[in-house]
Amino acid sequence: MRRTRDWFEPARFGLFVHWGPWARAGWEASWPLVGGVVTLPLGQDIPADEYHANAGGWQPDPAAPEAWATAAAAAGMRYAVLTTRHHDGYALWPSRHGAHGVAHTAPGVDIVRTFAEACRRHGLKIGLYYSLPDWHHPDYPAFTDAQRPYVFGGYPSPSADGWQRYMEYVRGQITELLSDYGTIDMIWFDGAWERSADMWDVDALERLIRGLQPCILINDRLPGHGNFATPEQFVPPEPPAEPWETCLTMNRSWGYNSSDTDYKLPATLVHTLSEVAGRGGNLLLNIGPDGDGRIPPPQQARMSEFARWMARHAEAIIGTSAGLKPWQFAGPTTLKGNTLYCHLLMQPVAPVSVRGVPVQHLKSVRVLGHDAALPFEIRIPVMDELMHIDGSGEVLIDLPEALRDPVATVLVLEFDCDPARSGSAAPSQETAA
């Protein structure tokens, strides 16, 4: 059985948390240190000394993760992933390796610990993000203003000794993260593009990780070793063959970027969750708490909209698998056993139609969250009817105005066979005769 079937695929919805010293200044995560990147157009450009000096005054509040986990659980999320160390190298736990992080600027604080505890309290699986590059570490080597602007592919080479020390540091930190906090369900790497898989010594890293946490999932950013793909800021039109998770920001920044007010509508985000689930993937939705660890109001509002919608519709997301083909319904669909969930992302102007399903096995139709059975009409080819062929046909459903959700209504179609069964079932002896 593939590892992701255990909890990851059924979970469908998780919280990404980008938190680090940048939040204190209201900057995007790490990228301002290297002069920004085109894909994060609202990020800043901050000289290296000034960038790192900001970390010195930051006292992260160990209580912050409790509010994130509360919001995540209320929104129907099943796991959470925290940036334990982003590209700027600041460790959110008191690492005994390296010289940058809470151990040096906020003694006594351990955000990874309070994060893991909060996740457990709220029934969330625990994911730890770890950037392979560290733009602060002297052996990496550290990014300097002379290298600005950042060029993809143009990184200064470390010395051979330096690289050995650097990888010792990476292994040391990973060992701490996967030894000191109980069961960790996922490690989420990032930044591998800066060096080759050989330099990252990926096979040895994987052995180390699985030796410490045998059941852990690893994302595909540890080249060659991922349990799942990680399309970024994008829902793949054709779902990848392997398990996958789209990571997505609510605005255009990962970190708490006070200059970024360009938010996606709450409805758009809910629709994205339906689209992702309908293609058999997960959504890892990001928040960037401010320097005090508070979820910024526009992000909290979006979390609350998920809480409202998921209170009624979680059943159509969690534990489902990818649904029908795109032509069968004008919107995403998800499946659970003999139940088909049709996610209406637009207000219907005519009866809603579901095509190519085994209509003679359709037992009932209702709106998710309401008990009343809705009347439905079925259409099948005339010859199928005359010959008693158990084929597929079309269902038409009138959706009363009063039952519509303002953001996305889900129709529940209960069959007594697999709703995705294609074509006709073999005719019985009696009809064949």
**Rounded distance between C-alpha atoms, residue 105 and residue 372, angstroms:** 59
Nearer to ligand GLC, 129 or 415 (CB): 129
Q: Min. distance of Cβ 120 from ligand GLC in angstroms?
A: 24
Provide the greatest CA pair distance for the chain: 85
Nearer to ligand GLC, 135 or 309 (CB): 135
- Stretch 235-294 residues interacting with ligand GLC (CB under 6 A): 247, 254
Read off the tokens for 146: 């002379």
Nearer to ligand GLC, 30 or 320 (CB): 30
The site string for ligand GLC over 370-399 (x = CB under 6 A, - otherwise) reads ------------------------------
* Contact status, residue 84 vs residue 177, Cβ threshold 8 Å: yes
Q: Min. distance of Cβ 32 from ligand GLC in angstroms?
A: 11
Distance of CA 255 to the CA centre of its chain: 16
**Rounded distance between C-alpha atoms, residue 225 and residue 229, angstroms:** 10
**Rounded distance between C-alpha atoms, residue 278 and residue 339, angstroms:** 14
> Per rule CB under 6 A, is residue 29 in the interface with ligand GLC?
yes
Q: Min. distance of Cβ 261 from ligand GLC in angstroms?
A: 19
Position closest to ligand GLC via CB = 247
The site string for ligand GLC over 154-193 (x = CB under 6 A, - otherwise) reads ------------------------------------x---
Q: Min. distance of Cβ 254 from ligand GLC in angstroms?
A: 5
Pick from 66, 194, 232, 418 the residue near ligand GLC by CB under 6 A.
232
Q: Min. distance of Cβ 411 from ligand GLC in angstroms?
A: 34
Strands 245-248 and 217-218: unpaired
Read off the tokens for 106: 């906020």
Nearer to ligand GLC, 190 or 260 (CB): 190
Q: What are the residues whose beta carbons fall under 8 Å from the beta carbon of 111, sequence distance 6 or more?
A: 19, 60, 62, 64, 65, 82, 84, 92, 93, 102
Q: Min. distance of Cβ 29 from ligand GLC in angstroms?
A: 5
* Contact status, residue 355 vs residue 378, Cβ threshold 8 Å: no
Nearer to ligand GLC, 33 or 342 (CB): 33
Nearer to ligand GLC, 140 or 254 (CB): 254
Nearer to ligand GLC, 43 or 62 (CB): 43
Nearer to ligand GLC, 217 or 410 (CB): 217
* Contact status, residue 111 vs residue 62, Cβ threshold 8 Å: yes
Q: Min. distance of Cβ 59 from ligand GLC in angstroms?
A: 23
Read off the tokens for 76: 């129907």
Contacts by 103-112, CB closer than 8 A, 24 or more apart: 105/21, 105/55, 105/56, 105/57, 105/58, 105/59, 106/58, 106/59, 106/60, 109/59, 109/60, 109/62, 110/62, 111/19, 111/60, 111/62, 111/64, 111/65, 111/82, 111/84, 112/82, 112/84, 112/177, 112/181
Q: Min. distance of Cβ 85 from ligand GLC in angstroms?
A: 11
Distances (CA, A) of 421 to 142, 155, 385, 415: 56, 52, 18, 11
Count of residues engaged in binding ligand GLC, rule: CB under 6 A: 6
> Per rule CB under 6 A, is residue 359 in the interface with ligand GLC?
no
Q: Min. distance of Cβ 195 from ligand GLC in angstroms?
A: 14
> Per rule CB under 6 A, is residue 306 in the interface with ligand GLC?
no
Task: Calculate Rg over the CA atoms of the chain.
Answer: 25
Nearer to ligand GLC, 58 or 254 (CB): 254
Residues that bind ligand GLC (CB under 6 A): 29-30, 190, 232, 247, 254
